[in-house]
Chains A and B, each alone.
Chain A
Amino acid sequence: MDVYEVFRRHGHKDPFEHCGSVTAPDPDMALLMAKECFLRRREGEHLWVVRRSDIHSLDDESLLEPAGDKSYRFASGYRDVIAKREKALARVRSMREKERTP
């Protein structure tokens, strides 16, 4: 008997999500058990089971913590857009003024 982790996908917009585990003697039984345990209310139309022993994880999860400033990867790293837009518009205004008064 093995522990199988269960994943299900609902519709097309979101990827598979983990929803729990079952113990079963083989993949066919695991799929059937998983269907009953995790899809009784049509929470998904797609089902995966994976033997727990086939899942890998990091021994040291501190490796997942970023070392330096990676704010450029986030929307919050671009919060000064309002000020920058204002600066650009001010530039355009001064440019237009110069065109009017030769």
Chain B
Amino acid sequence: MMDDALRALLLALGDDELIIGHRHSEWTGHAPHIEEDVAFSSIAQDEIGHAAAFFSLVADIEGSDPDAIALGRKPDDYRHAILCERPNGDWGYTLARHWLYDTADDVRLEALEQSAHGELRAVAAKLRREERYHLLHADMWMRRISRGPVEGRARVADALIDTFAEAVAVFEPLEFEEDAVARGLLPVPSDALRARYVERTTRALDDLGLPIDVTIGADRAAEFVASAAGDLIVGDGTNFETRDRSSGAGGRRGRRSEDFEALWDEMTSTYRENPGATW
């Protein structure tokens, strides 16, 4: 039986974890410090495990299996935030994204620990314990880089500025969100989570001494508007077509960037080429 609101919520959560886990795992064997290579691989494995947990819940509703959900869908059917599908770039981008994403994940998991859906509540609580370690890792690196030589600080600061809008788009409203909120599946609406996230990250970045100006320059469509009260509001969330392509929004409605096709093709190729096979 199809429960649209629950499915949309679980796919958003699972797809974020799967796609970012996939990207993180691409660092294995290459990270700039060998012990860190080992550490970051654990984080990648955790994210994929989290995806499996969310997809298991979907599989229970649909009567399918988590691998089919993870690897058997068309590119248009994925619901992750565009932030997750971006290539790894260099270590500065990777750190910035890791920190921004895991902070977002903590904000939403905190809310989901109060979900009306018993199994989702249990999964959220369990995952949040592992994510605590991811945050510790990200914070430790951010502290080291932000207090270190100027080149590292500049690279990470630039990456944070460039990526912030996409990170905030993690909290774009989901499909069927009204229903999810009304039923308590998503106890806190995306808008409110977004506000919490912006407040938390700007405060943390301030503490780190990283100068972040999150208002976007005049040459790009305004994604953020400073409200009269001095806080940041995401621009009109409905007119995706007029937005700057690199704004990173639209993921929750299945909009993908130019980076996803190659990722999807590679990630699903063995699975697609051998339908019904066991591995």
Contact = CB atoms under 8 A, between A and B. Distances in A.
A/B touching: CB–CB < 8 A: yes
Interface of A: 22-26, 28-29, 32-33, 35-37, 40
B144 A23 contact: no
Contact of B140 (A22, A29, A40): A29
A32 B39 contact: yes
15 contacts: A23-B35, A24-B35, A25-B144, A29-B140, A29-B144, A32-B39, A32-B136, A32-B137, A33-B38, A36-B38, A36-B39, A36-B42, A37-B35, A37-B38, A40-B42
B36 interface: yes
Among the interface residues B38, B136, B144, which one has the most CB atoms of the partner chain A within 10 A? Answer: B38
B140 A33 contact: no
Interface residues of B, number: 9
Contacts of B137: 32
Task: Label chain B's interface by main secondary structure.
Answer: helix
Contact of B39 (A23, A25, A28, A33): A33
Contacts of A33: 35-36, 38-39
Contacts of A36: 35, 38-39, 42
Nearest to A26: B144
A99 to B, nearest CB: 74
A29 B36 CA distance: 9
Contacts of B136: 32
Interface in B51-89: none
A35 B130 CA distance: 14
Interface string B152-167: 0000000000000000
Nearest to B38: A36
A23 B34 CA distance: 9
A25 B137 CA distance: 14
A32 B38 contact: no
Interface in B104-144: 136-137, 140, 144
Contacts of B144: 25-26, 29
